[in-house]
Amino acid sequence: MKKAIIGKKVGMTQIFDETGKVIPVTVIEAGPCTVVAKMTKEKEGYEAVQFGYEEVGEKKLSKPEAGHLKKAGVANLKHLKEFRLEDTTKFEVGDTVKADIFAEGDKVDVTGISKGHGYAGVIKRFGQGRTPTSHGGGPVHRHAGSMGSSTDPSRIFPGKKQAGHMGVDQVTVQNLDIVKVDAELNLIAIRGAVPGPKGSIVYIKNTVKTQPVKKGEAAGVSVNPQKQSARVNPQKASARTK
């Protein structure tokens, strides 16, 4: 079953595993979320569940938002998000989803809005090089330089890497491990970094990447003749050193 939840990024810290190794984790306050609406194939043409997160005062919502929540009979929730899950029959409007919907060891994708860096030049934004700083380089060391356009086509093509607004983009980091789940405090510790500043909203759901399952005695043995695990040619140096 696919699972999902809305959360708020608390920050990063580190924990230790059984062997004493340090694991950098991002702590996320996941839920509690309320099921606000259900989409069905008969009415909307697809199956999905809409979650709501973070209760606020009614004056902080627009009239359409407040009316939508009032019709569902739930509290005033600031953040709404639809998730297309495989089985929506297990959810009913008004149900509460907490952090324990996920378990330790689950693989998840985390989506958030990246940190904003304001108006940035091409060096900071795209990592481009700069001009030489000697022999009369002039005050243009960090400028973008020529755009490469001439009479034909007499324009700059879309997608050109130039200075502009950096950050504040929707970013998804895939295939992260859930290291720890605290059901009482509604906290989830995820290995590695997730997009966004502290206090930003993130969406956690099962990863879309398939996890290969190795079976049998030959599990882990490559079929690629270029790899050492598959080399059987005695003329190769790697085979002679075995």
Averaged pLDDT score across all residues of the chain: 85
Domains along the chain? Answer: 4-127+164-206 (2.40.30.10), 212-242 (no CATH)
Residue 44 to residue 204: CA distance in whole angstroms: 24
Compute φ and ψ for 214, nearest 5 degrees: -90, 130
Which of these, 7, 43, 2, lies nearest to 190 by C-alpha position? Answer: 7
pLDDT at 214: 65
Q: What is the pLDDT of residue 120?
A: 93
User: pTM of the entire structure?
Assistant: 0.79
Give, rounded to a whole angstrom, the gap between the first and last alpha carbons of the chain: 46
Residue predicted with more confidence, 75 or 137: 75
Mean pLDDT of 97-121: 92
User: Residue 178: what pLDDT?
Assistant: 93
Distances (CA, A) of 83 to 63, 142, 159: 24, 44, 31
Coil, strand, or helix at residue 33? strand
Residues 152 and 175: their CA atoms lie apart, in Å, by 45
pLDDT at residue 31, as a whole number? 78
Which pLDDT does position 133 carry in this prediction? Answer: 82
Report pLDDT for 89. Answer: 81
Percent of the residues in the chain that have a pLDDT greater than 70, as a whole number: 86
Over residues 47-63, the pLDDT tens digits come to: 899 999 988 888 898 99
Q: Among the listed ranges 31-40, 62-71, 182-191, 224-233, which one has the minimum average pLDDT value? A: 224-233
Interatomic CA distance for residues 52 and 6, integer angstroms:
8
